[in-house]
Amino acid sequence: MGIGIDLGGTTIKGGVVNDQGIILVERLVKTRSHLGYSHVLGDLIKLIEELQLLSPEEQVIGIGIPGILSVDGGTIVSCPNLQWENIPLKRDLEQALSTAVLLVNDATAACIAEAAFGSTRGKANSVMITLGTGVGGGVIINNRIISGAQGVASEIGHMLMEENFYRCGCGKNGCLETFASATAMIRYCHLRINQGYDSTLRSIEDFDGEAIMDAAKAGDSLAEEAVNRLANYLGWAIANINDIINPESFTIGGGLSYAGEFLLEKIQAEAIKRLTYPQYAVPEMVLARFKNEAGMIGAANLGSFI
């Protein structure tokens, strides 16, 4: 049993999670990052203290962070959503709470949730790819998360594919997330519409990734083109990762995964076409079991995967 915190750009979600991965108690507060680090820290401390009072026993605290951590897992090196750099969050929380605190990247937290209780339970080697505004990733090898020598491993969304028509937020041109995220599909559809391509999406003000998926399912040719483009590049990336580490399973999660088998089948087909050894090295590809609660569940179980 543990306490898991999902620190997001707009909300902080916290929960007491039991040994079966069930959230027994959940609390939510707004992320007041515009007021500065000290206010967010104070809100985190209050939230954790409330959860501790509601927990039947003393807990280790796990926190999923939308950013990059130092190799020792103590400092938030970069967290653009909160405009944080080099923040000693672990130290500050442990001093205030007098208990151990563990930090982890939020996509890796989701990967842990699936490995502990979800779609990849029982598999020692797995990769999770989260498809949302960007593309996140988590890698588990021999039941241990992979952080890398400097703590920046598993940045699957920044794998370089080829030149694109716009740059990634990281500054590079060609990152996977500029081809295979909700943002990528939206920008691609706007580009094609501005080029004169007809689509039912023209009638939707500020269409999002969900609207594009729904339009593709309904047979809209531009939406289908955008979804197929996403699947193409994601399949390419999965084949590359498989050739390097050959995991047992790939999990597709994040907001776009709601599209279910419609999207998964396209990704599987594109990945299999590119595998070097398709005759005997085809990994399982599955949808994530957990949705919005994945960060809390994974963070609460971080101690079992480090």
- The pLDDT of residue 14: 97
What's the pTM value of the predicted model, to 2 decimals? 0.92
Q: Look at residue 151 in the predicted model and tell me its pLDDT.
A: 85
Domain spans in the chain, listed from the N-terminal domain onward:
2-106, 119-287
Q: How confident is the model at residue 168 (pLDDT cuts 50, 70, 90)?
A: very high
H or E, element range at 68: strand 68-69
The whole-number pLDDT of residue 129 equals 97
Q: How big is the chain by its Cα radius of gyration, in Å?
A: 20
Cα distance between residue 114 and residue 123, in whole Å: 10
Mean pLDDT in residue range 166-175: 95
| Confidence at residue 210, expressed as pLDDT on a 0 to 100 scale | 95
Q: In this structure, what are the phi and psi dihedrals at residue 261, rounded to the nearest 5 degrees?
A: -60, -30
Residue-level length of the chain: 306
- Rounded Cα gap, residues 263 and 252, in angstroms: 10
pLDDT confidence of residue 219? 97
Superfamily holding 2-106: ATPase, nucleotide binding domain (3.30.420.40)
pLDDT at 152: 87
118 phi and psi, to 5 degrees? Answer: -115, -135
- CA atoms lying within 13 Å on the CB side of residue 305: 36
Per-residue model confidence as pLDDT tens digits over 12-70 = 999 999 999 999 999 999 999 999 999 999 999 999 999 999 987 777 899 999 999 99
User: Quick check: do 2-106 and 119-287 share a fold?
Assistant: yes
Question: What is the average per-residue pLDDT within 104-128?
Answer: 96
Per-residue model confidence as pLDDT tens digits over 259-280: 999 999 999 999 999 999 998 8
> Angle, to 10 degrees, between the axis of helix 221-245 and the axis of helix 209-217?
110
- The answer to whether 57 and 48 are in contact (CB under 8 A) is no
119-287 is a CATH 3.30.420.40 domain: yes
Residue type, 274: R
Question: For the packed helices 221-245 and 182-194, what is the interaxial angle rounded to 10 degrees?
Answer: 140
Say if CB 103 and CB 228 are below 8 A apart. no
Residue 216, number of CB atoms within 10 A of its CB: 23
- Residue 30 is predicted with a pLDDT of 95
Alpha-carbon distance values, 108 to 131, 144, 221 (Å) = 13, 11, 35
C-alpha span between 27 and 257 (Å, rounded): 25
For 173-220, write each residue's pLDDT tens digit: 999 999 999 999 999 999 999 999 999 999 999 999 999 999 999 999
What is the percentage of the chain residues whose pLDDT exceeds 70? 100
What is residue 281's predicted lDDT score, i.e. its pLDDT?
Answer: 86
Cα separation, 91 vs 48, whole angstroms: 15
Among positive and negative, which fits the CA dihedral 111, 112, 116, 117? negative
Residue 253: predicted pLDDT: 95
Distances (CA, A) of 23 to 17, 29, 78, 300: 4, 17, 29, 10
* pLDDT value for 217: 97
